[in-house]
Structure 1
Amino acid sequence: MLQARLPDVWRLVGTGAPSESVVVVPSMTVNRVAGTAGAVNQALEERLLFLLLLLRQPHLRMIYVSSMPVDPQIIEYYLSLLPGVIPSHARARLTLFSVGDGSGTPLTDKLLARPRMLAELASLVPDRASSHLIPYTSTTRERDLALQLGIPMYAADPRHFPYGTKSGCRRLFAESGVAHPEGAEDLHSVEDVVVALVGLRSSRPRSDWAMVKLDEGTSGSGNALVDLRGIEPTAPDAYAQVESRVRAMQLEDETIGLDDYLAKLAERGGIVEERIVGDELRSPSVQLRVTPLGDLELLSTHDQVLGGPTGQAYLGARFPADPAYAMTITEAARRVGERLAAAGVIGRFALDFVVVRHGDTWEAHAIEVNLRKGGTTHPFLTLQFLTDGAYEPASAHFLTPSGEERHLVATDHLQDEALKGLRVADLFDLVARAGLQFDPARQVGIVFHMISSITECGRVGMTAIGATPDSAQDVFDRAESALLAEARASLAPRELPL
């Protein structure tokens, strides 16, 4: 079996083996309610360009696949970050492969639909016995891609997909003895949702708000908020009242219509759960991985930055998570991770939590498992690759080899209409003039990502690295201010030449 080769390939990683190579296919193969614009799709694919930092290994070869060609200036930017490596040497070991299809269709589907192109990609792999595929998500389509390329995939097997659905998560948390919100899973209709909400209101009379979540929603886009205030579950018209509230629920993604949302619920399923409330709420996450050798590793904790109409949309993250609850969520994540490892899951995954403060005490509730790379993956690995540091779960600190702390603030959503006035070259010009580049000597500064979407979408991502939480936030704020000032200046009317 192809995947059976993965442990041997894994043992070669970082050893300097001259034949080692990786194929990166950052396909956002997820079941979305609404489509993704081509420019955003391309920018999301480019989030994994931080993997170019792996080219500091002097023999490693990389094939990076994208829907459309990546701007050479962006490639040059990432290679310039490589510590102790001549960029031209790294560039010679990098093969960029683009499909030439800028639509919002997932990248993997674009490749599988083009057999001749796929054969060409497979021919570029130097030695299949020492190569592996790095996908963003791992569905049956990524599995098929790995088979076509003849190399194993370092990611969760698609047969484990149910663990990553909202319904599967709830079952997994219950089996692992991990606290999670009251609710119900495996719902497929308005009637199912109404019955679950009436039951929730009966068991939790103080639950004035509840969440409906699509089983395969991502970044909060499949969530909806239901107002249960004033409903008596024993009233004769309780079910009618709740149904009326469901049909008026507030969808997190305002570009989606209720009919489309309910159609996706019927097709793929969903859950209902109480909305946790208290004196203060935060949304941390824990990142883990199971290596191809079966070892479970705790990688990091983050405090997620959320926004959107109901505060459920992922915007960015701060790292590490607050020590006040970091070890609590780490222990819960470890229990879930051990169960996943025992089931044969491999690769990176993350657990999302809601933590609520009651007085001086924090209480944690697990809400989701993401069996894929996520929004916290690229900022954390950018920090790790640039500093050679590691997260210490026992102290909830990230330490460089010299013992210094590092913190980060990151976003995928620095978005403003004024940014459309800038080109990629303008961004890099600002980086040079304003001193926004990452400083390898002090190991602090800014790293930009999702750069290609700046002109068409007015959106860019960035990771700010500092020695303390406040200094990381200060680096972030200064970069944001400088970028927006430059963008607004670019739109100021200019006198026409005579």
Structure 2
Amino acid sequence: RCKTAILKLDRGVSGLGNALVDVDGALGEGALARAPQLEDTESEVGTYLHALADQGGIVEERIEGEDFRSPSAQLRISPSGQVEILSTHDQVLGGPHGQTYFGCRFPADSEYAPRIAAEALKVGRRLAREGVIGRCAVDFVAVRQKGEWQPYAIEINLRCGGTTHPFMAISTLTDGAYDPLAAEFRTPLGDLKHYVATDHLDAPAYSALTPDDLLDVVGERSLGWDAEREAGVALHMVSALAVAGRIGLTAIGDTPSEAQALYRELKQTLDGLAAKAGVTYSRLQPRAPAARVAGPRTR
């Protein structure tokens, strides 16, 4: 019997509809209400269980191993029933229990990417027979067991997802294509490309910045997209910077390390800019008049 299970709401998004359940604890107490550990810290167990009863959900065994990854495969199903593997990604998860989607790395690790592509193709062909058309994705869990990676399919998402727009960005910018058998993305000139992407580069201090601040510093540091090198950072959600202190980006490089370095440099640049803007902002704020301290009276 598994030690931990995962509850998932049917309408959950980005892992926020997930909850961990200690199976032994739930069975021992005979009540589910005290068992779930919610991924959404702003929700309550009672509200979650009401949503579970209202919209439905599933229960999964939590798969564990020596090492743990969360890859996914993206597909496109044509009206004629043809299934195409568009991409594979390693999803970057975080949150209280590692269930919240924060971003992705492309392509997925070559040690298991061809295998999950093959399994996703089987799923896609079945979906095509059921009449599904358009983009969809299959999420996996990959664990290393006795030195070998073992993938398990866990979810089907009949929609565009968090990996859709980064892949569309690199496809549009480079006119390249992904080879699912080789687990490689190459441009028409044969150059390999990789990226790191997120919709969640955020911090409270970022709200002191404007989109123009961001675009100016990206240009000054030459971090933006370089069409000649076919590398650099493609930004999105820029207008959310001043409102929510958040931006999204796709950092594209020739190697995984170059893509990660671009992401890290932009984050460090943004952190420094926000710190400087915060100091300037505080200096510009009107100060409250100093309280008068009563001194000794003189007669």
Q: TM-score, normalised by structure 2?
A: 0.91
Give distance in 2, aligned partners of 1:424 and 1:290: 37
Instruction: Note the C-alpha offset of 1:496.
Output: 5.5
Two-structure CA RMSD over aligned residues (Å): 1.6
For the pair 1:327 / 2:114, whether they are aligned, the reply is yes
Question: Secondary structure, in 3 states, of the residue corresponding to 1:436?
Answer: coil
* 2:21 equivalent in structure 1: 226
Give distance in 2, aligned partners of 1:387 and 1:268: 42
**What letter matches 1:489 in structure 2?**
K
1:25-62: CA deviation from partner (whole Å, max 9, x where unpaired): xxxxxxxxxxxxxxxxxxxxxxxxxxxxxxxxxxxxxx
Contact 1:436 1:445 in 2 (8 A): yes
Instruction: Note the C-alpha offset of 1:293.
Output: 3.3
* 1:43 equivalent in structure 2: none
For the pair 1:212 / 2:3, whether they are aligned, the reply is no
**What letter matches 2:16 in structure 1?**
S
1:287 to 49, 63, 74: 74
Give distance in 2, aligned partners of 1:323 and 1:293: 30
For the pair 1:431 / 2:218, whether they are aligned, the reply is yes
- Gaps in structure 2 of 5+ consecutive residues: 286-299
Report matched runs for 1:410-425 at 5 Å: 410-425=197-212
For the pair 1:297 / 2:84, whether they are aligned, the reply is yes
Fraction of identical pairs, as percent = 51
Contact 1:438 1:445 in 2 (8 A): yes
Aligned residue pairs total 284
Question: Secondary structure, in 3 states, of the residue corresponding to 1:484?
Answer: helix
For the pair 1:367 / 2:191, whether they are aligned, the reply is no
For the pair 1:241 / 2:14, whether they are aligned, the reply is no
* 1:65 equivalent in structure 2: none
Give distance in 2, aligned partners of 1:278 and 1:368: 19
Report matched runs for 1:297-446 at 5 Å: 297-446=84-233
Contact 1:228 1:242 in 2 (8 A): no
Instruction: Note the C-alpha offset of 1:434.
Output: 1.5
Contact 1:225 1:250 in 2 (8 A): yes
Give distance in 2, aligned partners of 1:281 and 1:242: 31
Question: Secondary structure, in 3 states, of the residue corresponding to 1:329?
Answer: helix
For the pair 1:267 / 2:54, whether they are aligned, the reply is yes
* 1:52 equivalent in structure 2: none
Instruction: Note the C-alpha offset of 1:450.
Output: 1.3
Q: TM-score, normalised by structure 1?
A: 0.55
Greater strand share, 1 or 2? 2
Instruction: Note the C-alpha offset of 1:242.
Output: 4.4
**What letter matches 2:50 in structure 1?**
A
Question: Secondary structure, in 3 states, of the residue corresponding to 1:216?
Answer: coil
* 1:460 equivalent in structure 2: 247
1:160-218: CA deviation from partner (whole Å, max 9, x where unpaired): xxxxxxxxxxxxxxxxxxxxxxxxxxxxxxxxxxxxxxxxxxxx2xx221111112211
**What letter matches 1:260 in structure 2?**
T
Instruction: Note the C-alpha offset of 1:266.
Output: 0.9
Instruction: Note the C-alpha offset of 1:284.
Output: 0.2
Instruction: Note the C-alpha offset of 1:350.
Output: 0.5
Instruction: Note the C-alpha offset of 1:488.
Output: 1.2
Q: Give the 4+ runs in structure 1 shifted more than 2 A.
A: 493-497
Greater helix share, 1 or 2? 1
**What letter matches 2:265 in structure 1?**
R
Give distance in 2, aligned partners of 1:433 and 1:475: 14
Contact 2:74 2:138 in 1 (8 A): yes
- Gaps in structure 1 of 5+ consecutive residues: 1-203, 232-237
Instruction: Note the C-alpha offset of 1:306.
Output: 0.2
Give distance in 2, aligned partners of 1:410 and 1:448: 10
1:309-339: CA deviation from partner (whole Å, max 9, x where unpaired): 0100000000000011111111110100000
